[in-house]
A and B are shown apart, each in its own frame.
Chain A
Amino acid sequence: MFPTQIVPKESFDRLQIAALVGLMLLGTAFVYSATSASNAAAGVAWFNQAWARQLVWYALGLGAAIALCVVDYHTLARWSFVAYWGMMLCLVAVLIPGLGKTHGWGAQRWIDLGPFQFQPSEFAKLAFILAGANFLSRPVDELRQPLIFWQGMGLLLLPCALIIKEPDLGSALVLVPTGLVMMLVAGTPRKYLLLLIGTVGLLGGLLLADVLLAPPRWQVPMQEYQRQRLLVYFGKDFAPANATLAQKAAARELQSDKSYQSRQALISVGSGGLWGQGWGQGKQTALSFLPPSAAHNDFIFSVIAEEEGFVGSLVVLTLYAVILFSGLRIAGQARDRLGKLVAVGVVTLLFSHVFINIGMNIRIVPVTGIPLPLLSYGGSSVLCSLIALGLMQNIHIHRRGY
Chain B
Amino acid sequence: MLFVDEFKKNEPQLRLVALMLAVGLVILLAGLWWVQVVSANEFQSHLETQSYRTIRLPAARGKILDCAGRVLAENRPVYNLSIYLDDLSGQFNSEYDRLRPVKITPAPPPFWAFWRPAGTVQTNRVRLNMSQVEALSMQARYNVVNRIVGQAGQKIGQPLALDPKKFNQHYQTSRALPFPILESLDARQIAQFEENFSGDLAVDLELESVRDYPHTNLAAHVLGYLRRDNDSQAGEDPVFKYRLKDYLGVIGLEAGYDPQLRGRAGGESVLVNSLGYRQAKTVWSPPEPGQNLVLTLDLDLQQAATAALVRHQGTNARAAVVVMDVRNGDVLALVSSPAFDPGDFARGISFAKYQQLQALQAEKNRATAENYAPGSIFKVIVSLAALEAGLNPDQEYTVEANPEDPLHGCYFLSARSWVKDTAPPGKYKFKRAIERSSNSYFIQAGLQAGVERVVALAKKFQLGETIGLPTRQETGGDLPTVERVRSPDWRTGDTANVCIGQGAVAVTPLQMAVVYSAIANGGTVFWPRLVARLEPQDPTQRQAVNEFPTGLVRSKIGVSGRSLRILHEAMLGETEDLIEGTGTSARVPGLLICGKTGTAQVPESRLRAKGWNYWFASFAPYESPRYAVVVMVESEARGSGGGTCAPIAHDIYETILNKEKSRAGKILAAN
Could you list which residues of chain A lie within 8 angstroms of chain B, going by C-beta atoms? 15, 41, 98-99, 104, 112, 114, 181, 184-185, 187, 254, 257, 266-267, 269-274, 283-284, 286-289, 305, 309-310, 313-314, 317, 320-321, 324-326, 328-329, 331-333, 340, 344, 347-348, 351, 354-355, 358-359, 362, 364
> In the complex, are the beta carbons of A310 and B51 less than 8 A apart?
no
Q: B6 and A270: CB pair below 8 A?
A: no
Does B31 sit within 8 A of A, measured CB to CB?
A: yes
Q: Residue of A at shortest CB range from B40?
A: A273
Contact B47 A185 (CB under 8 A): no
Report yes or no: A329 in contact with B274, Cβ–Cβ below 8 A.
no
**Given A270-B43, A325-B3, A184:B17 Cβ within 8 A:** yes
A-B contact pairs, 6 of them (CB 8 A): A181-B17, A267-B43, A270-B35, A328-B14, A328-B17, A355-B28
What's the minimum C-beta distance from B124 to chain A, rounded to whole angstroms?
10
Which residues of chain B in 1-55 are interfacial with respect to chain A, using CB atoms and an 8 Å cutoff?
Answer: 2-3, 6-7, 10, 13-14, 16-18, 20-21, 24-25, 27-29, 31-37, 39-40, 42-44, 46-47, 50-51
Instruction: Please give 4 more A-B residue pairs, beta carbons under 8 A apart, in addition to A269-B32, A273-B40, A326-B3.
Output: A289-B273, A325-B2, A328-B17, A355-B27
CB atoms of A99 and B111 under 8 A apart = yes
Given contacts A270-B40, A270-B42, contact A328 B32 (CB under 8 A): no
Contact of A271 among B10, B46, B125 (CB under 8 A): B46
- Interface residues in B, total, Cβ within 8 A: 47
CB-CB < 8 A to B14: which residues of A?
185, 328, 331-332, 340, 344
Query: With A104-B125, A114-B110, A266-B43 given, is the CB distance from A333 to B32 under 8 Å?
Result: no
Chain B residues whose CB sits within 8 angstroms of the CB of A286 once the complex forms = 273, 279
Q: Is B182 an interface residue (CB 8 A)?
A: no
* Nearest opposing residue in chain B for A322, CB measure: B2
Q: When chains A and B are docked, how far (Å) is the Cα of A41 from the Cα of B93?
A: 14
Find out whether the CB atom of B21 lies under 8 angstroms from the CB atom of A325: yes
Question: Judging by beta carbons under 8 Å apart, are A284 and B47 in contact?
Answer: yes
Closest to A282 in B: B47
Contact (Cβ within 8 A) A362 B3: no
A234 to chain B, nearest CB (A): 17
Give the chain A neighbours of B112 by CB distance below 8 A: 114
A contact residues around B36 at 8 Å (CB): 269-270, 272-274, 305, 309-310, 313
In the bound complex, do residue A329 and residue B21 qualify as a contact, i.e. CB atoms below 8 Å apart? no
Please provide the chain B residues from 493 to 544 with a CB less than 8 Å away from any CB of chain A in the complex.
none
Q: Which 8 A-B pairs have the closest CB atoms?
A: A270-B43, A287-B273, A273-B40, A310-B36, A271-B47, A289-B274, A332-B10, A362-B31
B429 to chain A, nearest CB (A): 91
Expressed in whole angstroms, the minimum distance between the Cβ of B280 and any Cβ of chain A is: 10
Known: A271-B43, A348-B17. A333 touches B25 (CB 8 A): no
| Separation of A267 and B274 alpha carbons in the complex (Å) | 13
- Nearest chain B CB to A389's CB is how many angstroms away? 16
- B77: CB under 8 A from chain A? no
Complex: chain B residue closest to A41, CB-CB = B90
Q: Please, how many angstroms separate the alpha-carbon atoms of A358 and B2 in the complex?
A: 25
- Which residue of B is nearest A257, CB measured? B130
CB <8 Å contact, A272 and B51? no
B24 touching A351, Cβ below 8 Å: yes
The yes or no answer to B272 lying at the interface (CB within 8 A) is yes
1/0 per residue, CB under 8 A from A, across B45-77: the answer is: 011001100000000000000000000000000
Residues of B with C-beta under 8 A to A267: 43, 46-47, 50
What's the nearest-Cβ distance from chain A to residue B199, in Å?
Answer: 19
What is the minimal beta-carbon distance from A353 to any residue of chain B, in angstroms?
11
> Does B637 count as interface, using CB distance less than 8 angstroms?
no
Judge if B359 is at the interface, Cβ distance under 8 Å: no
Do B50 and A347 touch across chains, with their CB atoms under 8 A apart? no
Complexed CA–CA distance, A15 and B24 (Å): 21
Q: Say yes or no: B274 contacts A287, CB within 8 Å.
A: yes
- In the complex, which residues of chain B have a beta carbon less than 8 angstroms from the beta carbon of A271? 40, 43-44, 46-47
Cβ contact within 8 Å between B25 and A288:
no
Q: Is B275 an interface residue (CB 8 A)?
A: yes
Q: Does B108 contact A (CB under 8 A)?
A: yes
Say whether A273 contacts B275, CB under 8 Å.
Answer: no
User: Once the chains bind, are A274 and B40 in contact (CB under 8 Å)?
Assistant: yes
- Cα distance A304–B6 when bound, in Å? 33
Q: Are B272 and A287 in contact (CB under 8 A)?
A: yes
- The answer, among A15, A310, A329, A355, for a CB contact under 8 Å with B37, is A310
Distance from A249 Cβ to chain B, minimum over Cβ atoms (Å):
13
**Chain B residues within 8 Å of A351, by CB:** 21, 24
B28, B107, B108 — which one has the most chain A CB atoms within 10 A of its CB?
B28
Q: Which A residues touch B205, using CB under 8 A? A: none
Contact of B46 with A287 in the complex, beta carbons under 8 Å: no
CA distance A324 to B27 in the complex (A): 16
Check A362/B35 contact, CB under 8 A, given A270-B43, A344-B17.
Answer: yes
Least CB distance, B47 to chain A, in whole angstroms: 4
Q: How far is the CA of A356 from the CA of B90 in the complex (A)?
A: 35
Note all chain A residues with C-beta closer than 8 A to B25.
Answer: 317, 320-321, 324
B39–A270 touching, CB < 8 Å: yes
Is B271 interfacial (CB 8 A cutoff)? yes
B3 lies within 8 A of A329 (CB): yes
Contact of B31 among A15, A104, A364 (CB under 8 A): A364
**A351 CA to B90 CA, complexed, in Å:** 40
**Do B3 and A328 touch (CB < 8 A)?**
yes
Residues of A close to B275: CB separation below 8 A: 288
Given A266-B35, A289-B274, A305-B32, is A333 in contact with B6 using a C-beta cutoff of 8 Å? Answer: yes
